[in-house]
Amino acid sequence: MLFLTALRRTCTRTGAAFAVALLCLVPLAIQAQVLGATVKTDQVRAELLAHAPQGIQAGQTFWLGLQIQHQPHWHTYWQNPGDSGLPTRLQWKLPTGLQAGDIAWPLPKKIPIGTLANYGYEGAVMLPVPVTVGPDFKAPVVGPVKIQLQAEWLVCRQECVPQEGQFELSLPAQGATALHGALFDAAQKQSPQTLAGAHQATVSADGRTLTLSIEALPSAWRGQTLSLFPVTANVVNNAAVQGQTWTQSWQGARWTAQMPVSDERSESPTHMTWVIAAGPESAPRAPAVEVTTPVSGTWPALATASPSASVSPALAKALADNAKAPTPQSGSWGSLVLAVLGAFVGGLLLNLMPCVFPVLAIKVLGFAQPGHGRAEHRAAGLAYTVGVVISFLLLGGLLLGLRAAGEQLGWGFQLQSPVVVAGLALLFTLLGLNLAGVFEFGQMVPSRLASWQSRHTTVNAGLSGVLAVAVASPCTAPFMGTSLGLAIALPAWQALAVFVAMGLGMALPYLAASFWPAVARALPRPGAWMVVFRQAMAFPMFATVIWLLWVLGQQTGIDGASGLLATLLCVAWLAWAWGLQGRARWVLSVLALGALTWLAVSVLPMALREAPSSPMTSNEAAPRWQAWSEARVQSELAAGRPVFVDFTAAWCVTCQYNKKTTLADAGLLADFDARQVVLMRADWTRRDAAITQALTALGRSGVPVYALYAPGRAPVLLSELPSVAEVQQALRGL
């Protein structure tokens, strides 16, 4: 698991001129490590230690800890890192019966950086974690107890380097482990102790200051200058200077502190937690206490949406920005109207498909023949329409039900799976072969049901509408894929409106002919032109197969694409052989089936595995475009440089078109260079939780997405088909 997927808060505070000389220019990505008890980098030495003086016994608690020794001038971060940075994260893999608690964070120090301030550690620090031994713990009969840790930290000086380490420690199951007891004892003394008593924090009427009142502090502290560290993040001004922008005073046993609220406050807490110690904030002295205070008064409304615990402030700003802007995902009226119109036209064009038009034409021509009254024709037309619309509603309800159950619907998500890409290539190959006349699909429903006629013409028309949708379902790809993909991203009632529009579009010719017989006489008659049209439609199917093979090659390499191509060849061989007559049909079909079985068993499982290398093409490797990561974005922003991110994927045709047109324009690239814009590409060809999280924070669920980030501002989102002028206009706003 990458460190970058755990980003919660990073370098997002304002001050462009200051930031240029300050933070987070990441010269390295994530430092590699080897599995062991110690990990060394150029900046830190991290070691996993244990303290189990009573051994590992049920009902007892022992301690694990990560000791980090920093090189001079480097630091890592506390649980509230302050105005920038990330806290160290520990993820344990322990035997059954062992339960790790939270880090007992030692007392930090304030690290001023220009107009900002961080909370963290320099020198050496121990991060202890209590481990509870449950009654279900069973010590191994032979061998030690294995402890594994995945640790992630951000180490900074003037630049920041995200690092991670994998640690493994073997502890005796029966004997004691107390070699590092002194280190754990010292860490325990540095950890704040909970302080009970009457405590209160009050927000001023204008919401600009916060007054903290604490009683029952250690008597030895009275009259001294104390250090104050907010555990609750994103509320107070961390860079406030003691005696200048925040003050403290003693009234007997009551200690009162008044501090400014941050101009970028993103929380309105009802309770806040603080750590207090004697001495200056740059060198506080143990022991320390931790207090939780209720907050009285009324917080003013937030200017932006509050960031969640797992989303960085920059991403939270993007959420707030997109909450105001109409997007297809938020179901704006403009997007909904376009989606409905597109679905209606797609349903109308669906009638031209060879699998639908013959049935429709024959039924419509019936209106022009004598035998039934106009009222009966109109009733039949309405019934047919109702049958079609209900069928589409059922289809939409099924898709929405799967979405609610957690299925990731839509081409974008599914095309991240090589197996799904291969399945789609197989489907479109069969559709193309069928349209080309190589073979014919069997009846989709039993022949008795297909030929059954209700005695009531209105009921029969309604059932014909249901059957028409069933017959049309294999033919939706050329016209309705986009509308279906958009519909499943909309809110439920809007998505169902799109499906209703599809049904109305498909039913319109029949409905019009039932009310106006002249329409039936004006429709084209079935003829030889339909065979040509059907065969011509095979080529878009084959073109789609070529594209899917290219996508698969990006995910699995040349072996995966070659294996699938050989499989599709055998499928075409089998489809052709099955249409022959006599003995040749059986001989050739058996040979094709044997070859297909061998490929499916021995070749495809290996070929469809994702290649370990990056799916980015040689164009992606150009120095101009960097690989995206949230940490890199925040590092560049903190250094005062704007960032343009291209969220893309190999299976996204629009992405590839934009990449070779707008984003390759020489004039636009020169503008990027002139404004020192850092260009990054977030490749979503394969599943990537970090990119998914970033897209969600931007209010998007698919690609392409183009975002321009600037220090201290919410990201600017461009259209899915941006022109050079549109991107240049966004750049002028920097």
At residue 70, the pLDDT reads 93
Residue of 657, 679, 691 whose CA lies nearest to 731 = 679
Say which residue, 264 or 410, is predicted with more confidence: 264
pLDDT at position 122 over 90: yes
Residue 524 or 389, more confident: 389
What pLDDT is recorded for position 369? 47
Predicted confidence at residue 522, as pLDDT, reads 62
Which of residues 68 and 703 earns the better pLDDT score?
Answer: 68
| Per-residue pLDDT band at 126 (split at 50, 70, 90) | very high
Q: Are 695 and 635 in contact (CB under 8 A)?
A: no
Question: CA-CA distance, 549 to 566, in Å (whole number)?
Answer: 11
- Kindly report whether the peptide bond that precedes residue 704 is cis, defined as omega within 30 degrees of 0: yes
More confident residue, 303 or 88: 88
Please identify, in words, the CATH class of the domain defined by 625-732.
Answer: alpha beta
Q: Kindly list the distances between the CA atom of residue 383 and the CA atoms of 175, 426, 509, in Å, as whole numbers in the listed order.
A: 82, 36, 13
Backbone angles phi, psi at 392, to 5 degrees: -65, -35
Confidence of residue 381 (pLDDT cuts 50, 70, 90): confident
Per-residue DSSP letter, 599: I
pTM higher than the cut 0.85: no
Ordered DSSP codes for 522-539: HSPPP-THHHHHHHHTHH
Q: What is the mean pLDDT of the chain?
A: 74
Would you state the pLDDT for residue 726? 92
Q: Does position 713 have pLDDT exceeding 60, yes or no?
A: yes
pLDDT of residue 105: 95
Strand partners, 226: 278
Report the pLDDT averaged over residues 58-72.
Answer: 90
Side chain identity at residue 660, one-letter code: K
Taking Cα atoms as reference points, which of 303, 295, 293, 134 lies closest to residue 214?
A: 293
Q: Is 92 exposed, middle or buried (0-12, 13-18, 19+ CB in 10 A)?
A: middle
- The SS3 assignment for 713 reads coil
Predicted pLDDT of residue 124: 93
Cα dihedral 369, 374, 375, 378, rounded to 10, equals: 70
Judge whether 709 and 702 are in contact, CB under 8 Å. no
**pLDDT bucket at 237, cuts 50 / 70 / 90:** confident
What would the pLDDT profile of 643-674 be if each residue is shown by its tens digit? Answer: 999 998 776 667 777 888 899 888 999 999 99
Residue 653 is predicted with a pLDDT of 61
Model confidence pLDDT, tens digit, residues 267-300: 788 888 989 998 888 888 888 899 888 888 888 8
For residue 719 the two structure tokens come to: 């259209």
Other residues' Cβ atoms within 10 Å of the Cβ of residue 94:
16
Q: What are phi and psi of 209, to 5 degrees?
A: -135, 160
Residues 29-36, mean pLDDT to the nearest whole number: 36
Query: What is the rounded distance in angstroms from the CA atom of residue 48 to the CA atom of residue 180?
Result: 11
Please give the structure tokens belonging to residue 434.
Answer: 């069928």
What is the pLDDT, as a whole number, of residue 487? 58
C-alpha–C-alpha distance, residues 534 and 442, integer Å: 17
Whether the bond between 130 and the residue before it is cis, its omega within 30 degrees of 0, is no
Which has the higher per-residue pLDDT, 352 or 402?
A: 352
Report the C-alpha gap between 488 and 409 in whole angstroms: 7
C-alpha dihedral, 38 to 39 to 45 to 49, nearest 10°: -30
- Tell me the C-alpha to C-alpha distance, in Å, between residue 308 and each of 8, 312, 315, 320, 619: 8, 8, 9, 12, 36
Residues 6+ apart with CB under 8 A from 148: 92, 93, 94, 166, 167, 168, 169
Q: What is the model's pLDDT at position 58?
A: 83
Q: What confidence tens digit (pLDDT) does each residue in 147-186 have?
A: 999 999 988 876 677 788 889 988 887 777 777 888 898 9
Contact (CB, 8 A) for 618 and 691: no
Q: Per mean pLDDT, which range of 101-110, 145-154, 495-504 is the poorest?
A: 495-504
460 or 59, which is more confident: 59
Q: What is the mean pLDDT of residues 697-705?
A: 75
What share of the chain in percent tops pLDDT 90?
Answer: 13
Predicted confidence at residue 456, as pLDDT, reads 61
Rounded Cα gap, residues 66 and 72, in angstroms: 19
* Lowest mean per-residue pLDDT among 8-17, 244-253, 405-414, 616-625: 8-17
The whole-number pLDDT of residue 525 equals: 61
Any idea which fold 199-301 has? Immunoglobulin-like (2.60.40)
Question: Residue 329 in 3-state DSSP?
Answer: helix
Sheet containing strand 61-70, edge to edge, reads: 38-40, 44-51, 61-70, 124-133, 98-100
Q: Which CATH number fits domain 31-189: 3.40.220, 2.30.240, 2.60.40, 1.10.600?
A: 2.60.40
Q: What is the SS3 assignment for 82-120?
A: ECCCCECEEEEECCCCEEECCCCCCCCEEEEECCEEEEE
Contact predicate 359/468, CB 8 Å:
yes
Span 360-381, average pLDDT: 59
Residues 116, 122, 127: CA angle, nearest 5 degrees:
110
- The yes-or-no verdict on residue 540 having pLDDT over 70 is yes
Check residue 123 and give its pLDDT.
92
Kindly report, residue by residue over 85-101, the tens digit of the pLDDT.
Answer: 789 999 999 988 899 99
Q: Please give the Cα distance from 371 to 493 (Å, whole number).
A: 42
Contact by Cβ (8 Å): 120, 75: yes
* CB neighbourhood size of 653 (10 A): 12
Ranking 43-52, 461-470, 478-487 by mean pLDDT, the lowest is: 478-487
Our measurement of the distance from residue 26's CA atom to the centroid of its chain's CA atoms, rounded to an integer in Å, reads 23
Q: How high is the pLDDT of residue 28? A: 32
Average pLDDT over residues 534-560: 76
Rounded-to-integer distance, Cα 583 and Cα 608, Å: 35
- Residue 520: predicted pLDDT: 56
Q: What is d(CA 411, CA 554) in angstroms, rounded to the nearest whole number? A: 16
Query: What is the structure's pLDDT at 453?
Result: 47
- The answer, yes or no, to whether residue 45 has pLDDT greater than 90, is yes
Q: What is the pLDDT of residues 194-224, one digit of tens each?
A: 887 767 778 887 778 888 888 888 888 888 8
Helix (H, G, I), strand (E, B) or coil at 573: helix
Separation CA 626–CA 616 (nearest Å): 11
The least confident of 159-163, 251-255, 464-468, 722-726 is 464-468
Question: Do residues 105 and 125 lie in contact, with contact meaning Cβ atoms separated by under 8 Å?
Answer: no
Q: Which of these, 587, 589, 567, lies nearest to 576 by C-alpha position?
A: 589
- Determine how many CB atoms are found less than 10 A away from the CB of residue 536: 11
Residue indicated by tokens 């379902």: 473
Lowest average pLDDT, out of 521-530, 623-632, 683-692, goes to: 521-530
The pair of three-digit structure tokens given for residue 383, joined into one six-digit string: 């019934």
